[in-house]
């Protein structure tokens, strides 16, 4: 027997009693509701049916929030199945808001931590029902204790994930919109927009992370290129200072910076913890190499590569709707390309440049018009850098041009990341 | 911790039963009460929000006196002394009629009648007649069927065709969506007729979006088709209907192409609806109240009702005219809508000559004596009555204003003295409902907060201050203790052995007068004893066509005034409020946007307006500035702003409406309201 929500799309009229019941039970939620009403089409396009989905945490068996939390702030109540968040352990990294398919964790700006639906665990423990489900005045949202197989869960999930979502969704009997006189709305098609819910991730919001990841790719490339073996003391200190500085930058997005050490706790499951572990190992071994005793370059290179690989894995949950998971601005790709440039491997650099432009176009093909300027800059910088590297012996000028292009590509990378609630809003 | 049964006393169809948990003097939880078959899954978001509202930090808990632009706490003694001195002064200097007693629908209950007793004892007062809400439809129904009643709400699941005509239960009567959905699982068709595409229409088979105010001609056109196709119930008509032949003849000028142009519905949609109605085994037509808030509202409702009548869908399971059910109101005599009429002969006590629909204008124009003082309870006329700029002007012109309120509403802000009003948990009362036929006890479960006193006590104390005799006081007021209130309530139901306060404490009880399938006895209490399509009374009392007929709304898109102001402003209710209540609560704010005007993409594009732009909506009565939201749901040419926002929030649509009565029943034609709008750019 499992505790599950049952939601009937035929009965919900978006009355918001569930959301209000939740607030009355768990407190006013100024930073975002724990239980939200999702609409498939806010614009009432004449040929589309409009239906609603009342969504909070679905207390997944393999909860992605819990698995990915670097600070082990989540746990599962083994009796009730509730996925619970522990405020004391939270570092406010917001990574769970990227990984949850249902947009359940809410970041509380004032407290700097995440809050979320508790399944009304305090009520479940007393044999009672969650407030939202008890209060639904049309009976659309209910709570049940029943057998609920993984397959049923997969079939019910409002977006295609297989994480043991504990909600059964009774689908619309009739998928048709009401028949209406669509001629009333003729000529309005240009006003219809792809629904724009506020993007959780964007280059602007995640500027510290953007810089951190770009710098990291560059530093690893520089180290692997072998140039650092010729560094004097000042250059070595500079190298480590930039590494440390970029690490500090990444702390900026934490709601609770003082708790940052907790981010290492979930090496077992979380790529975020691994990223921080390999970051530490990379710069640790490099420092040893620089200042204590030279060590074989692989000892640092391997953690460096794993560090970048972990960074790229961290962003995976927000790439679910991409055509290809291989983005031209992955840090590993940037690192490799930088390596070719730093070592003046002209042929490799050129081949890679062509491949990356193709990949860039493949990813952007739908938005080329909207992104005209970034596309032009991206293509021209990488082309120009390639031409320069063929024409001149110095790599200083190509590097400058190349870096501009990488910044643009990485900005696009962040802007293309979309957390899964976009699908729910559609 | 204790759990009590109670019921929501708001002016709302659902009048939900619920269980309230009280712990240590606090409402801590509200649970469904499944004994009420109409609201078995519990109350709506507003009902749930009583947990906050009952103990809101914004509540007025003490008598307040205006000092400059602020209010200061005063004692009850000071408040009542001031008020009684003023009352004595105005009575002596100008006569009792210089005092306006204004009460509205903020909280229902029999104890509200005590106010009337007080003002009679005082010697009379000026009061209002009519009603802001539903009287045109009530009167249309009374004229036709003789009584306002319909099948029990849960019978709706037996209907094979459900027509929601101008009603949006998904927001205003949420639990009605339960039997609608059940009927659909049994194969029923759902048709919605509404200029707006609402949540109620999303699961519908057909949505017709007529030009507002033209519903009457749409109904007549369908009737004509049905008559031509002989899809009418001749046996029923012959036996029970008066005036059918005259009515049929009166339709000779109705022409489907012209109808289509007038109401903006394509011919094939009209034909489709007519054929669905012609085929329907059972049909329940559910008109809303918005459609009758037009200058032609009563006649429109008579046209719609004729559709129900000629097809014989009356008195049967699954078939009824579902406007209002007053079977639960075993207390009023006379019932609505007749008790809205001004008395034909003044009774010498109450001077009922101000129409609530024209409150502002008539408060200003009343002479001999002019109004000097107002007493307002259970109402917020400064937001909710039409032409609220004029209402405000009229209130400001008075010398002295008393407002009994729970919160700092627009009206309370204008008061000289505010008296703290009880909430629903602080005094027991009996309530009925106009959708389901239950009698319910709204139980006292809390002691009044702060220095709050129920109105019964306020009037009692005021009567003492004014020096009325013990006998007069005893005859007119129930006394102050809970036992005395209970005894008074018990007395009101003493004629019904089925009812007692003890039984009502266990849950809702069906009205002893209940006919589950309304008119199943085919008894129609009209003058002729038949269903009156031809109504002599209609012509005599209201001066309208004795037959159902289509009249253009005075201020509608198809009329002349649309040249100046081309857009029809609709001011519907939303799920987030009951009129102007609840919007101030944190939980409601947590789910709602700031006030906004809904406009159509096409209209917006023509005016260069995008979603979230601020627009200025105006006509010759006023203007408001409000955020625009654009989508493809509203019929072009309309603009919709939910009523109930306060002027303090910047957006009461009643700044734009005119105080105008409906064609019958002394209702209020809020929606005869043409406006224009433009993008508003703040001047730098």
pLDDT at B448: 97
Residue range B429-444, pLDDT digits in tens: 999 999 999 999 999 9
For residues A165 and A212, membership in a common domain is answered with no
For residues A239 and A364, membership in a common domain is answered with yes
Half-sphere exposure (Cβ direction) of B157: Cα atoms closer than 13 Å:
11
The answer to whether position A90 is within a domain reads yes
Mean pLDDT value across chain A: 91
**Interface contact B49-A24, CB threshold 8 A:** yes
Chain A residues near any Cβ of chain B (below 8 Å)? 10-11, 13-17, 19-21, 23-24, 28-30, 33, 42-46, 49-51, 134-139, 173-174, 177-181, 183-185, 187-188, 190-192
Secondary structure element (H or E) that encloses residue B413, with its range: helix B410-413
Domain assignment of residue A345, given as a range: 207-425
CA distances from A48 to A389, B132, B612 (A): 54, 37, 23
CB B168 within 8 Å of CB B199: yes
Give the domain B135-327+526-542 fold.
Answer: Dimethylsulfoxide Reductase; domain 2 (3.40.228)
The answer to whether position A316 is within a domain reads yes
For residues A129 and A216, membership in a common domain is answered with no
Report the residue from B45, B586, B602 with minimal CB separation from A188.
B602
Closest C-alpha among B672, B676, B666, B670 to residue B127:
B666
For residues A133 and A215, membership in a common domain is answered with no
Query: Mean pLDDT throughout A262-272?
Result: 95
Token pair belonging to A14? 């978006």
Residue range A320-375, pLDDT digits in tens: 777 788 888 999 999 999 999 999 898 999 999 999 988 888 876 556 667 778 88
Report the residue from B174, B204, B633 with minimal CB separation from A138.
B174
Closest chain A C-alpha to B217 CA, distance in angstroms: 18
Rounded Cα distance, B667 and B652, in Å? 20
pLDDT at A411: 92
Token pair belonging to B574? 């939303």
CATH of B64-123+331-431+438-510, one of 2.40.50.140, 3.90.1150.10, 3.40.50.740, 3.40.800.10: 3.40.50.740
Closest chain A C-alpha to B149 CA, distance in angstroms: 24
The end-to-end CA distance of chain A, in Å, is 33
CA distances from B488 to B426, B491, B503 (A): 16, 5, 16
From its phi and psi, is residue A338 left (phi > 0), alpha (psi between -120 and 50) or beta? Answer: alpha
Closest chain B C-alpha to A108 CA, distance in angstroms: 15
**Interface contact B602-A15, CB threshold 8 A:** no
pLDDT at A196: 56
pLDDT at A324: 80
E runs forming strands in B427-584: 429-431, 438-442, 509-510, 531-532, 567-570
* Mutate which: A12, A13, A182, vs B, most B CBs within 10 A: A13
For residues A27 and A90, membership in a common domain is answered with yes
State what percent of residues in chain A have pLDDT above 70. Answer: 96
Taking CA–CA distances from A187, the nearest residue in chain B reads B602
Range list for CATH 3.40.50.740 in chain B? 64-123+331-431+438-510
Secondary structure element (H or E) that encloses residue B8, with its range: none
Backbone angles phi, psi at B26, to 5 degrees: -130, 140
Closest C-alpha among B544, B566, B558, B554 to residue B258:
B558
For residues A157 and A300, membership in a common domain is answered with no
Q: Which of A170, A193, A221 is the last residue of a domain?
A: A170
Secondary structure element (H or E) that encloses residue B238, with its range: helix B234-240
Closest C-alpha among B419, B385, B594, B579 to residue B60:
B419
For residues A110 and A236, membership in a common domain is answered with no
CA dihedral A230→A235→A239→A242, nearest 10 degrees, is -160
Secondary structure element (H or E) that encloses residue B466, with its range: none
Range list for CATH 2.40.40.20 in chain B? 560-679
Report residue A424's pLDDT band, with 50, 70 and 90 as the boundaries.
low
pLDDT at A369: 63
* Mutate which: A126, A135, A143, vs B, most B CBs within 10 A: A135
Range list for CATH 3.40.228.10 in chain B? 135-327+526-542
- Classify domain B560-679 by CATH number: 2.40.40.20
Report residue A211's pLDDT band, with 50, 70 and 90 as the boundaries.
very high
Report residue A194's pLDDT band, with 50, 70 and 90 as the boundaries.
low
| A contacts of B631 (beta carbons < 8 Å) | 42-44
DSSP conformational letter for B550: -
* Mutate which: A16, A33, A54, A189, vs B, most B CBs within 10 A: A16
**Interface contact A15-B49, CB threshold 8 A:** no
What is the domain count for chain A? 2
Taking CA–CA distances from A22, the nearest residue in chain B reads B587
Rounded Cα distance, A137 and A318, in Å? 35
DSSP state letters, A215-270: HHHHHHHHHHHTGGGG--HHHHHHHHHHHHHHHHHHHTT-S-GGGGGGGGTTTTT-
pLDDT at A195 over 60: no
Instruction: Identify the CATH number of the domain in which residue A406 sits.
Output: 1.20.1630
**Interface contact B632-A179, CB threshold 8 A:** no
Query: How many beta-carbon contacts under 8 Å exist across A and B?
Result: 151
Report residue A47's pLDDT band, with 50, 70 and 90 as the boundaries.
confident
Instruction: Identify the CATH number of the domain in which residue A104 sits.
Output: 3.30.70.20
**Residues of chain B where predicted confidence (pLDDT) is lower than 50:** none
Token pair belonging to A281? 């190992």
CB A60 within 8 Å of CB A83: yes
Query: Mean pLDDT throughout A401-422?
Result: 87
């Amino acid at each position: 027997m499992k505790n599950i929500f049952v939601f009937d799309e035929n009965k919900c009229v978006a009355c918001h009693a569930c959301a209000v019941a939740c607030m009355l039970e768990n407190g006013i939620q100024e930073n975002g509701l724990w239980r939200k009403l999702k609409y498939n089409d806010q614009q009432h396009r004449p040929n589309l049916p409009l239906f609603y989905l009342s969504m909070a945490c679905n207390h997944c068996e393999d909860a992605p929030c819990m698995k990915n939390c670097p600070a082990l702030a989540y746990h599962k109540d083994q009796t009730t199945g509730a996925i619970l968040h522990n405020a004391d352990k939270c570092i406010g990294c917001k990574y769970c808001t990227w990984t949850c398919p249902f947009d359940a964790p809410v970041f509380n700006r004032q407290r700097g931590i995440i809050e979320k639906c508790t399944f009304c665990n305090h009520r479940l423990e007393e044999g009672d029902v969650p407030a939202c489900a008890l209060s639904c005045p049309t009976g659309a949202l209910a709570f049940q204790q029943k057998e609920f197989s993984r397959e049923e869960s997969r079939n019910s999930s409002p977006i295609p994930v297989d994480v043991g979502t504990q909600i059964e969704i009774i689908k619309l009997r009739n998928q048709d919109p009401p028949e209406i006189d669509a001629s009333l709305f003729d000529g309005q098609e240009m006003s219809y927009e792809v629904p724009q819910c506020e993007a959780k991730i964007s280059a602007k919001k995640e500027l510290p992370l953007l810089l951190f990841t770009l710098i990291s790719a560059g530093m690893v490339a520089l180290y692997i290129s072998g140039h650092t073996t010729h560094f004097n003391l000042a250059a070595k200190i500079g190298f480590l200072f930039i590494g440390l500085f970029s690490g500090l930058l990444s702390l900026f997005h934490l709601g609770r910076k003082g708790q940052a050490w907790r981010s290492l706790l979930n090496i077992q499951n979380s790529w975020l913890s691994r990223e921080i572990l390999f970051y530490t190992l990379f710069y640790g071994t490099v420092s040893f190499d620089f200042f204590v005793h030279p060590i074989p370059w692989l000892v640092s290179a391997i953690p460096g590569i794993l560090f970048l690989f972990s960074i790229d894995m961290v962003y995976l949950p927000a790439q679910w709707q991409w055509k290809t998971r291989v983005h031209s601005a992955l840090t590993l790709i940037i690192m490799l390309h930088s390596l070719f440039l730093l070592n003046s491997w002209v042929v490799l650099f050129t081949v890679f440049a062509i491949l990356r432009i193709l990949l860039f176009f493949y990813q952007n093909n739908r938005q080329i018009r909207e992104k005209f300027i970034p596309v032009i800059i991206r293509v021209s910088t990488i082309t120009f850098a390639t031409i320069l590297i063929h024409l001149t012996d110095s790599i200083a000028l190509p590097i400058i041009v190349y870096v501009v292009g990488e910044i643009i590509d990485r900005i696009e990378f962040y802007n293309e990341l979309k957390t899964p609630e976009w699908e729910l809003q559609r | 911790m204790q759990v009590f049964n109670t019921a929501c006393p708001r002016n709302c169809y659902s009048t939900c039963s619920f269980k309230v948990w009280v712990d240590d003097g606090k409402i801590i939880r509200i649970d469904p009460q499944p004994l009420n078959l109409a609201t078995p899954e519990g109350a709506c978001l507003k009902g749930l929000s009583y947990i906050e509202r009952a103990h809101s930090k914004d509540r007025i808990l003490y008598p307040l006196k205006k000092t400059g632009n602020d209010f200061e706490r005063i004692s009850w003694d000071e408040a009542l002394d001031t008020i009684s001195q003023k009352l004595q002064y105005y009575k002596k200097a100008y006569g009792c009629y210089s005092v306006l007693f204004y009460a509205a629908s903020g909280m229902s209950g029999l104890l509200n009648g005590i106010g009337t007793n007080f003002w009679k004892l005082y010697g009379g007062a000026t009061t209002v007649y009519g009603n802001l809400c539903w009287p045109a439809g009530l009167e249309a129904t009374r004229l036709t069927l003789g009584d306002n009643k319909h099948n029990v709400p849960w019978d709706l699941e037996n209907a094979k065709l459900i027509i929601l005509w101008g009603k949006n239960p998904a927001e205003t009567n949420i639990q009605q969506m339960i039997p609608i959905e059940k009927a659909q699982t049994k194969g029923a068709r759902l048709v919605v007729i509404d200029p707006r595409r609402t949540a109620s229409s999303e699961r519908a088979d057909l949505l017709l979006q007529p030009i507002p105010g033209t519903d009457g001609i749409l109904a007549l056109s369908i009737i004509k088709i049905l008559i031509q196709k002989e899809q009418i119930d001749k046996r029923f008509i012959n036996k029970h209907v008066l005036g059918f032949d005259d009515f049929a003849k009166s339709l000779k000028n109705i022409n489907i192409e012209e109808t289509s142009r007038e109401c903006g519905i394509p011919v094939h949609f009209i034909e489709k609806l007519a054929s669905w109605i012609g085929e329907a085994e059972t049909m329940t037509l559910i008109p809303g109240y918005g459609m009758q808030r037009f200058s032609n509202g009563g006649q429109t409702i008579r046209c719609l009702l004729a559709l129900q009548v000629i097809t014989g869908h009356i008195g049967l399971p699954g078939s009824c005219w579902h406007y209002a059910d007053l079977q639960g109101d075993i207390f009023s005599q006379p019932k609505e809508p007749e008790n809205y009429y001004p008395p034909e002969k003044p009774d010498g006590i109450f001077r009922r000559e101000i129409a609530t629909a024209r409150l502002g204008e008539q408060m200003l124009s009343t002479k001999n004596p002019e109004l000097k003082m107002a007493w307002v309870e259970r109402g917020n006329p400064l937001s909710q009555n039409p032409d609220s700029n004029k209402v405000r002007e009229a209130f400001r012109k008075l010398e002295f204003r008393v407002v009994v309120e729970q919160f700092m509403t627009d009206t309370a802000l204008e008061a000289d003295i505010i008296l703290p009003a009880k909430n629903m948990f602080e005094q027991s009362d009996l309530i009925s409902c106009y959708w389901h036929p239950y009698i319910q006890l709204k139980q006292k479960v809390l002691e009044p907060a702060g220095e709050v006193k129920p109105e019964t006590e306020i009037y009692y104390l005021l009567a003492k201050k004014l020096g009325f005799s013990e006998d007069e006081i005893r005859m007119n007021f129930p006394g102050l203790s809970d036992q005395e209130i209970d005894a008074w309530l018990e007395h009101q139901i003493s004629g019904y052995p089925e009812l007692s306060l003890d039984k009502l404490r266990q849950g809702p009880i069906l009205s002893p007068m209940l006919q589950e399938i309304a008119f199943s006895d085919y008894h129609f209490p009209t003058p002729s004893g038949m269903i009156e399509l031809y109504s002599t009374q209609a012509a005599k009392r209201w001066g309208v066509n004795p037959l159902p007929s289509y009249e253009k709304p005075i201020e509608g898109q198809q009329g002349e005034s649309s040249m100046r102001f081309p857009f029809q402003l609709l001011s519907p209710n939303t799920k987030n409020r009951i009129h102007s209540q609840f919007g101030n609560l944190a939980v409601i704010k947590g789910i709602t946007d700031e006030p906004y005007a809904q406009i159509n993409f096409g209209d917006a594009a023509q005016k260069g307006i995008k979603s979230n732009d601020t627009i200025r909506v105006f006509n010759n009565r006023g203007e408001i500035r409000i955020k625009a939201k654009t989508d493809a749901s509203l019929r072009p040419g309309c603009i919709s702003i939910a009523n109930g926002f306060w002027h303090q929030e910047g957006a009461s649509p009643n700044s734009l409406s005119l105080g105008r009565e409906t064609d019958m029943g002394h209702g209020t034609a809020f929606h005869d309201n043409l406006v224009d709008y433009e993008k508003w750019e703040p001047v730098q």
